[in-house]
Amino acid sequence: MDLGGRRALVTGGTRGIGAATAALLRSAGAQVVVSARSDPGGNPSPVLVADLSTAAGVERLADQTLAALGGVDILVSNVGGQVRRPGALDFTEQDWQQELSINLLAAVRLDRALAPHMVAQRAGVIVHVSSGAARVARPSSLPYSTAKAALNAYSKGLASDLGRHGVRVNTVSPGLIETSRMAEVAAERGVEPSAMLAQVAASLEIPLGRAGTAEEVAQLILFLASPAASYLTGSHYVVDGGAFPVT
């Protein structure tokens, strides 16, 4: 999985799955830049600051990426987020717009800006990070599930269109993953992160009996970005320890 000479952008790349992915891509020899809403400092990859919930923010990031790398060979759209409400009808118009913008349209807009450069060079890899929530639409996070389900459908269609140009598109859906965000949620609830993760894993009846790690998701993304996956496109890969049924 040698990625020497490849140029990569990882959105949401300063923490969690994004940071783990950026680290593995670098270790494989790729030149990597990451994006975030702000630069926390001390990141091993250059951080391009942009708000991907807006069209202008995506355009800015695309311009910054091309200026920093001179082109792009690997695009990992990992940025996302979710709002929770008590029930399905409690979400406001702003909630829906926000969820669709960051979880679906950020990837669509970034592909529109950067995929033409891959088409021109007749080579490239796009990986969209989705979620197991796309298959389990819980009322308390319905806009998020809806956006991720739409992302899965969009990814398949894009792969069908770009394949003839040598550009591969795949989707990765993590399940319960131990990240810094999970630790923050545990702190908000006043519980130990390990205890909370164990409880959630038990409630989901995960066959492997535990939460996954960001590195385990990143390993799959690395594989999909590498020449080892040269005949894989238009597919949806699940990293959830067997938690959710096949649909």
List the structure tokens of 175: 């399940």
The alpha carbons of the chain give a radius of gyration, in whole angstroms, of 17
How close are the terminal C-alpha atoms of the chain, in Å? 30
pLDDT of 246 reads 61
Tokens of 108: 């669509």
pLDDT at 201: 82
pLDDT of residue 148: 97
- For 39-66, the pLDDT digits (tens) are 989 999 999 999 999 999 999 999 999 9
pLDDT exceeds cutoff 60 at 192: yes
DSSP structure class, residue 85: -
Q: How high is the pLDDT of residue 197? A: 82
Q: Are 170 and 225 in contact (CB under 8 A)?
A: no
Going by C-alpha positions, the residue among 91, 102, 97, 104 that lies closest to residue 148 is 104
Largest CA distance in the chain: 52
Question: Over the stretch 70-99, which tens digit does the pLDDT of each residue have?
Answer: 999 999 999 999 899 999 999 999 999 999
Query: Whole-angstrom Cα distance, residue 246 to residue 213?
Result: 21
User: Which H helix or E strand runs over 97?
Assistant: helix 93-100
| 144 included as an active-site residue | yes
- 102 has pLDDT over 60: yes
Q: Which of 144, 154, 231, 237 is catalytic?
A: 144
Are 186 and 196 in contact by the 8 Å Cβ rule? The answer is yes
pLDDT tens-digit series, residues 108-148: 999 999 999 999 999 999 999 999 889 888 999 999 999 99
φ/ψ bin of 209: left (φ > 0), alpha (ψ from -120 to 50), beta (otherwise): left
H-helix segments, 11-105: 16-27, 55-69, 93-100
Residues 199-213 as b or e (16 or more Cβ within 10 Å = b)? eebeebebeeeebbe
**Confidence tier at 247 by pLDDT (50, 70, 90):** low
Of 204 and 32, the structure prediction assigns the larger pLDDT to: 32
Note the pLDDT tens digit of each residue in 154-176. 999 999 999 999 999 999 999 98
Please identify which residue in the block is written with the tokens 């938690």.
Answer: 243
On the question of pLDDT at 182 being above 90, the answer is no
Q: Domains in the chain, please, with CATH?
A: 7-239 (3.40.50.720)
Dihedral sign of CA atoms 65, 69, 72, 75 in order? negative
- The chain-wide mean pLDDT, for the chain, equals 94
21, 222 Cβ separation under 8 angstroms: yes
pLDDT at 130: 97
What is the Cα–Cα distance from 241 to 243, expressed in whole angstroms? 6
